Chains A and B, each alone.
Chain A
Amino acid sequence: MDINAYIESGILELYVAGTLSEKENEEVYALMQKHPEILQEVLDIEAAIVKLTAATSQGSDNAVYQNIKQKLGFDDSDTQVIPINKPKNNWISYSGWAAAFVLGVGLLWLINQNNQLKSSIQTAETQQLLLETQIENSKSNLEEAHTLISVLRDDNIARIPLNGQGNFSNTYAKVYWDKNAKRIFLDAQGLPEPPEGKVYQVWSLKLSPLTPTSLGTIDSFKTDSNKIFEIQNSHESEAFGITLEPAGGSKTPTMEQLYTLGVVNAT
């Protein structure tokens, strides 16, 4: 059989057009299976006709196929996977990213809040500590005051005014001597602040013969607000004196710097 002549006869064009008889159709089909040239010729003819006919259409939108699927009752979840689920996936992934972003921002905000709270707590703790100290101070002040009141009211306590001496006649002090408790309270309100590098030193005196015994220096004069100092005194004092001495105190009083002096009244 002359395949070329068969092709050139134009029967394949009619085959694609659909104008051949059933018998002719079967013959062409059989020959196509046997001769690839014939099959290729048919494919080319068909492709040309498909292109030509398609060119005369305006094209159809996707809605037509959606209609067809609906009318044929196709399962949407299966066949619509491409058009429907794709945007859905996008939606999910977009909202996923958005959620992650929001979460991240929220996390940063929380961390920031947490840090702020931490520093607030620290401030509050410091303030609390400060207040506790103040309360403690107030308590001890109150105790001191109570002690003073009880001292002032106590009959067994001797009051010894110390008068200003020599150049320091305008100064004064008072000693409250609690003999039972072997202590004195020195009210140094009437003394000026000691100059730098100097301290007041308190002396217990025996008069005959004159023997001074140091009761110690008042190191906290500047910082003490009420200027009342509690000092241990186990001596049989006959008088009290206050001198200005170099810091650290002296073994014997510097008499030129004797500020105040007071004699204990014999009772």
Chain B
Amino acid sequence: MHLDILVENFKKKDEKAFEALYNMYKDSMLGVIYNIVRDHDIAEEVMQDVFIKAWHKSDTYSNQKGRFFTWILNISRNAAIDKTRSKNFKNSKQNLDSNFFVDILETSENLNDSTDAIGISQYVGKLAKKCIEVIELLYFKGYTQNEASETLDMPIGTIKTRNRNCIKELRNMVLN
């Protein structure tokens, strides 16, 4: 598989493979980070550090442990959350917890100016609130099933199936 070969070469410190992976995931990571830090410049800075970090610890990744996307998603979320906990950041930013990723999609000036993103925002806005909540927590915030279950006050099994249905809906919206 193309992606597998890229990741293999990336682990061998192949700069071209790294660049290809960067281009595949940079916008996604920037979106996740921005959703947490809510500042474009800071988000870009964190995203940059994420990919630098990924390069340095590329040998710790193994495809048996999970998807490459999941791996770098994890690094991004952790880096973004670390950033919000830093002293400087706390001084400049107020409470961020109440915002969901949908807010970003609804405010057009924050949007990635590709028509793709605009199209997606139209659909995603139609996602049920319960879907938005669960997607926000599991993908954007990196909550575990348990944490999500506690936060949303619903059984773990329900989180799993609801998420399944919500992602199905999302796939219908963005992949077709």
Q: Is A72 part of the binding interface, using a Cβ–Cβ cutoff of 8 Å?
A: yes
Q: Is the CB of B138 within 8 A of A65?
A: no
A38, chain B: closest CB distance, angstroms:
13
Given contacts A60-B27, A60-B44, contact A51 B110 (CB under 8 A): no
Cα distance, A55 to B127, chains bound together (Å)? 15
Residue of A nearest to B142 (CB): A18
Instruction: Tell whether A74 is near chain B: CB-to-CB under 8 Å.
Output: yes
Q: Which residues does chain A contribute within 8 Å of B71, judged by CB atoms? A: 18
Rounded to whole angstroms, the CA-CA distance of A74 and B66 in the bound complex is 28
Q: A68-B55, A78-B15 are in contact. List 12 more A-B contacts (CB 8 A).
A: A10-B161, A13-B160, A14-B145, A19-B142, A19-B143, A20-B66, A52-B101, A53-B73, A53-B140, A54-B31, A56-B31, A58-B113
Q: Please, which residue of chain B has its CB at the minimum distance from the CB of A59?
A: B112
Stretch from A41-49, A170-178, A192-200 forming part of the interface with B: A41-49
Chain A residues within 8 Å of B55, by CB: 68, 72
- Assess whether B152 is interfacial by the CB under 8 Å rule: no
Q: Tell me if B164 and A8 are in contact (CB < 8 A).
A: yes
- Residue contacts A-B, CB under 8 angstroms, 30 given: A8-B164, A9-B161, A13-B163, A16-B70, A25-B65, A29-B66, A48-B175, A50-B25, A51-B174, A52-B101, A52-B124, A53-B27, A54-B112, A54-B116, A55-B31, A55-B124, A56-B32, A57-B112, A58-B34, A58-B112, A59-B113, A59-B114, A60-B30, A64-B44, A64-B47, A68-B51, A68-B55, A69-B15, A72-B55, A79-B15
Most buried by B among A46, A48, A56, A59: A56
Contact-residue bracket for chain A = 35 or more
Chain A residues contacting B135 (CB-CB under 8 Å) are 52
Q: Which residues in B have their C-beta under 8 angstroms from that of A54? A: 27-28, 30-31, 112, 116-117
Question: With A and B bound together, what is the CA distance between A72 and B117 in angstroms?
Answer: 30
Indicate if the CB atoms of A18 and B70 lie closer than 8 Å.
Answer: yes
Residue B120 is within 8 A (CB to CB) of chain A in the complex = yes
Hey, which chain B residues are within 8 Å of A263, CB to CB? none
The answer, yes or no, to whether A136 is at the interface (CB within 8 Å) is no
- Whether A44 touches B104, Cβ cut-off 8 Å, given contacts A57-B30, A64-B44, is no
Interface residue A3 (Cβ < 8 Å from any Cβ of B): no
Q: For the complex, what is the distance from the CA of A67 to the CA of B163, rounded to whole Å?
A: 37
Contact status A51-B175, CB under 8 Å: yes
Contact across chains for A48 and B164 when beta carbons are under 8 A apart: no
Rounded to whole angstroms, the CA-CA distance of A55 and B102 in the bound complex is 10
Q: Is the interface of A mostly helix, strand, loop or mixed?
A: helix
Where the two chains meet, the residues of A that have a C-beta atom closer than 8 Å to any C-beta of B are: 8-11, 13-20, 22, 25-26, 29, 42, 44-60, 64-65, 67-69, 71-72, 74-75, 78-79
Q: Which B residues fall within an 8 A CB radius of A?
A: 15-16, 19, 22, 24-32, 34-35, 40, 43-44, 47-48, 51-52, 55, 63-67, 69-71, 73-74, 101, 104-105, 110-114, 116-117, 120-121, 124, 135, 138-140, 142-145, 160-161, 163-164, 167, 170-171, 174-175
Contact partner, B163, options A14, A18, A42, Cβ 8 Å: A14
Provide the bound-state CA to CA distance between A68 and B175, in Å.
31
Most buried by B among A54, A55, A59, A60: A55
Report yes or no: B139 in contact with A49, Cβ–Cβ below 8 A. yes
- CB neighbours of B27 from chain A (8 A): 53-54, 57, 59-60
Report how far A74 CA is from B71 CA in the complex, Å. 23
Residues of A within 8 A of B140 (CB): 53
- Which of A47, A57, A71 is close to B31, meaning CB atoms less than 8 Å apart? A57
Docked Cα-Cα span, A59 to B170, in Å, equals: 21
- Report the Cα distance A186→B144, complex, angstroms: 141
In contact, A51 and B116 (Cβ under 8 angstroms): yes
Q: Give the distance in Å from the alpha carbon of A42 to the alpha carbon of B69 in the complex.
A: 11
Instruction: Determine the residue in chain A with the shortest Cβ distance to B163.
Output: A13
